[in-house]
Structure 1
Amino acid sequence: MNVTYFSLNFPELTQTFVYNEMRGLKNLAVDIDVVALRRPASNVSSLPEQYGFSDRIRYVQADKRRLSRIAALVRGAIRLLARADFRTLWRLATMRDSDIRLPISQKLRLAASLQPGSSPSNVIHCHFGPAGRVVAHLKKLGLIKVPMTTVFHGYDITQYTDGRPDIYRELFEQADLLLPISDLWRRRLIDLGAPAEKITTIRLGVDCDAFDYRLRTIPAGQRTRFITIGRMTEKKGHRFTIQAFSQLVSRRPDLDLSLDIVGNGPLFDEMRSLAEASGHSDRIQFHGGLPHQEIKRLLDEAHIFVLPSVTAADGDMEGIPVSIMEAMAMGLPVVSTRHSGIPELVVDGNSGRLVDEKDVPALSSAMEELASSPDLVGTMGSQGRMIIEQGYNERSQARSLKQSLQQLQTKGI
């Protein structure tokens, strides 16, 4: 089986879950290719190279040279004329692509890369709705005639759709399978007009073998270490983590506590200033962005994971944060919020504690409950590991995805 991943930008540093999924399918004997419009100017991930995909990536950037664009148009027209595909020629000349805005020459080259004539892809697989829209447009034009799928994560069906309820009409028509990562996003897709029969929830997974589980204990006299991981953006709730931690330190001077904050982003300086103003900056350490191995080391040394995600002012929301999955895989109990798909992962009172968004006193109390209950930390951490093994295991999720993709062929799509 061959799967071609299509991406607008590849390989972005923050999309580890995409590369792990590719690796999971590869381990199941699926042949993987990648087609992308561009390479990120910064924050480039090295994982595709580590996983052996670096020679399977093709970039189809817009050509600024006029003669090259004309040559691409001529080659594309000749291919269509050779198979008497006058309908596609007419659509190319007359169909607008709303705000996708790809030159016709680039559309032709992109279609040729996604579906080479000598070896057509079995499935074109997109992560995030905007990427899916591009492929759906090519399919509606008639340039692509193979099954296509799209995975929906978070911003692509919240912030991205705000004020544009029909933005995915073409995608919903042309996609053969829509893959939200949570049941909440499944319902959101239906609300946006997606056909329910095209939707299958496929959860992200983590490699359980790569995250060593350890029963968390807090021996008497040992410092209790909280950790939070995520880009310094509004939806990650770093502001509320710092405020809740500061309240806890002030309220319980008898507890020896610290907070590690991992991540870079636009709010980094603001969050550092907030920590300094709290009066407890000596207990809070900012690490910035770190390699994955360093993050795993910090997780191994920590006792409690905190991520109070919120809906940002622009409507941006989480899906189900992979950082929570990784923390649970290593045996950390989680303090988080009733936000997006997080309650589908973290069971309140079982594998962690959930509070309402932006409720700093409740967040601080939940952190205190765990910090003052060593036995609860171990029990919740072990429950979290079990949840990951059973429902968010990269291997089992890859098998489910492969099965869903194969069903498209079985149905004769």
Structure 2
Amino acid sequence: MNVTYFSLNFPELTQTFVYNEMRGLKNLAVDVNVVALRRPASNVSSLPENYGFSNRIQYVQADKRRLHRIAALIRGGIRLLARGDIRTLWRLATIRDSDIRLPISQKLRIAASLQGSNSLSDVIHCHFGPAGRVVAHLKKLGLINVPMTTVFHGYDITQYTDGRPEIYRELFEQADLLLPISDLWRRRLIDLGAPPEKITTIRLGIDCNAFNYKLRTIPAGQRMRFITIGRMTEKKGHRFAIQAFSQLVSRRPDLDLSLDIVGDGPLFGDMQSLAEASGHSNRIQFHGGLPHQEIKRLLDEAHIFVLPSVTAADGDMEGIPVSIMEAMAMGLPVISTRHSGIPELVSREESGLLVPESDTEALSSAMEQLVTNPTLIQTMGLQGRRIVEEQFNEEKQTRELLLSFKRITEHVGSHRLLDQLASAVQK
């Protein structure tokens, strides 16, 4: 099978789950290619290159040279005329999408890249709704005739759709498969008007073999270490982690505690100031953004993982954080919130503790409950590893994704055959 990923920006540093999925498909003998509109100016991931995809990426940027745009239009028009596709030419001239705002010459070039010169792609696969909208628009125009799928993660089904309930109308019409990463997002897609028969929940997963499980023991006299990992944005809830930790230190001066904060982003300075103002900055260490191996080292040294995610003021929400999966895979109990798809990962009272969003007192109490109960830390850590192995395993999830690809290609292929037979009978 040949799968072409379409992305607006590639490869972004924060989308490790996409690159791991690509690697998983490659390991299953899938031919993977990437078409993207642009390369990020900063925060570029090296994983696609490390995984051997550097020569599989094609960028189709808008050409600012007028003569080149005209030439692309002429070439595209000739190809359509050569196959007698007058309907697509008419659609190109008449259909507009004010939100997508791509010049016709670029649409033609994107379509040619997505399908390959000989229509080699079996499936066009998009991560995030905005990328799926572009492919759906091209499909509606008739520029591509390939099954397409779209994965929905978080902001693309919350913040992105706020005040725009019809934003995905074209995508819902044209997509062959809609893949939310949680059951909560499945219900949200249905609320937005997506056909239920097109929706399949597909979990993100991690490579369990890359994360060594460790039974968390706390020898006498050793400091108990909390850790939180995430980009410094509002929805990650760093503010509440710092405040709850500070409350716990003030309440229990007899406990030797520390908090490691890993991540960079727009709120980094604000969070440092908050830690300073708490009076316990000597117990809180900011590491900034770190390579993955360094993050795994810190996870290995920690005892409890904390991520008090919240709904941001602009409506942005989590999907199911990969950082929680990685922590659970390494045997860390989790303290988080009843937010988005997190309860579908963190089994309450079994692999972790969940508290209401933005509830600093409840968060601090949960931190104290675990830090004073070493046995609970161990049993929750063991249960967390089991959950990840069974339900959020990258290899299992990639196989499920590949089966979904095969089902839609077979379905589309059978419909094309029936259409061809009907046309032959009519003639």
Considering the TM-score relative to the shorter chain, is it more than 0.5? yes
- 2:180 & 2:306 partners in 1: Cα distance? 25
Counterpart of 1:351? 351
Aligned pair 1:32/2:36, yes or no? no
The match for 1:232 is 232
Distance 2:411 2:174 in 1: 16
Alignment partner, residue 189 of structure 2: 189
Structure 1 residues 13-412: aligned runs within 5 Å: 13-412=13-412
SS at match of 1:411: helix
Deviation by residue 1:318-367 (Cα, 9 ceiling, x = unmatched): 00000000000000000000000000000110000000000000000000
Decide whether the 8 Å contact of 2:151 with 2:178 is kept in 1: yes
Task: Measure the CA separation in 1 of the matches of 2:410 and 2:114.
Answer: 21
Task: Give the 3-state SS of the residue equivalent to 1:317 in structure 2.
Answer: coil
Residues of 1 paired with 2:327 and 2:55: CA distance?
32
Secondary structure of 1:23's counterpart equals helix
Q: Write the distance in 2 (CA, Å) between the matches of 1:382 and 1:2.
A: 38
Deviates more, 1:115-124 or 1:40-49: 115-124
Question: Matches of 1:239 and 1:121 in 2, distance apart?
Answer: 46
1:20-40 per-residue CA deviation (whole Å, 9 max, x = no partner) reads: 000111111111000000000
Cα offset, 1:385, TM superposition: 0.2
SS of residue matched to 1:306: strand
User: Which amino acid in structure 2 is aligned with residue 100 of structure 1?
Assistant: I
State the Cα distance separating 1:221 from its structure 2 match.
1.1
What's the % identity of the aligned pairs? 83
For 2:155 and 2:84, the matched residues in 1 are separated by: 41
Partner of 2:422: none
Q: Distance in 1 between matches of 2:202 and 2:122?
A: 19
Residues 305 and 335 in structure 2, CA contact (< 8 A), matched pair in contact too: yes
State how many pairs are aligned.
413
Q: Partners in 1 of 2:335 and 2:116 — Cα distance?
A: 48
SS in 2 for 1:179: strand
1:253 aligned partner, one-letter code: P
For the Cα contact (< 8 Å) 2:147–2:412, is it kept in 1?
no
How far does residue 119 in structure 1 lie from its aligned partner after superposition? Answer: 4.2
**TM-score for both structures, normalised by structure 2:** 0.96
Report the counterpart of residue 4 of structure 1 in structure 2.
Answer: 4
| Structure 2: runs of 5+ lacking an equivalent | 414-427
1:121-172 CA distance string (max 9 Å, x none):
0000000000000000000000000100000000000000000000000000
User: In structure 2, how many angstroms separate the alpha carbons of the residues matched to 1:25 and 1:66?
Assistant: 39
SS at match of 1:25: helix
Rounded to whole Å, the distance in 2 between the matches of 1:409 and 1:60 is 26
What RMSD in Å do the two structures reach over aligned CA positions?
0.6
* Secondary structure of 2:36's aligned partner: strand
Question: Residues 291-326 of structure 1, C-alpha deviation per residue, up to 9 Å, x if partnerless?
Answer: 000000000000000000000000000000000000
Give the TM-score of the pair, scaled to structure 1: 0.99
Q: What is the alpha-carbon distance in structure 1 between the residues aligned to residue 25 and residue 366 of structure 2? A: 38
CA distance in 2, matches of 1:388, 1:74: 52
Partner SS for 1:412: helix
Return the alpha-carbon distance in structure 1 between the equivalents of residues 121 and 268 of structure 2.
42
Paired residue secondary structure (2:412): coil
Displacement, 1:116?
1.6
What CA distance in whole angstroms lies between the structure 2 residues aligned with 1:52 and 1:167?
A: 35
Whole-Å separation in 2 of the counterparts to 1:140 and 1:65:
27
Report how far residue 98 of structure 1 moved: 2.2
Whole-angstrom distance in 2 between the partners of 1:87 and 1:224 = 67
Gaps of 5+ in 1: none
Q: Distance in 2 between matches of 1:146 and 1:412?
A: 9
Q: Give 1:357's aligned amino acid.
A: E
Distance 1:223 1:375 in 2: 16
Q: Distance in 2 between matches of 1:121 and 1:187?
A: 30
Q: Which amino acid aligns with 2:174?
A: Q
| 4+ residue segments displaced more than 2 Å | none
The C-alpha deviation readout for 1:183-219, integer Å capped at 9, x for no partner, is 0000000000000000000000000000000011112
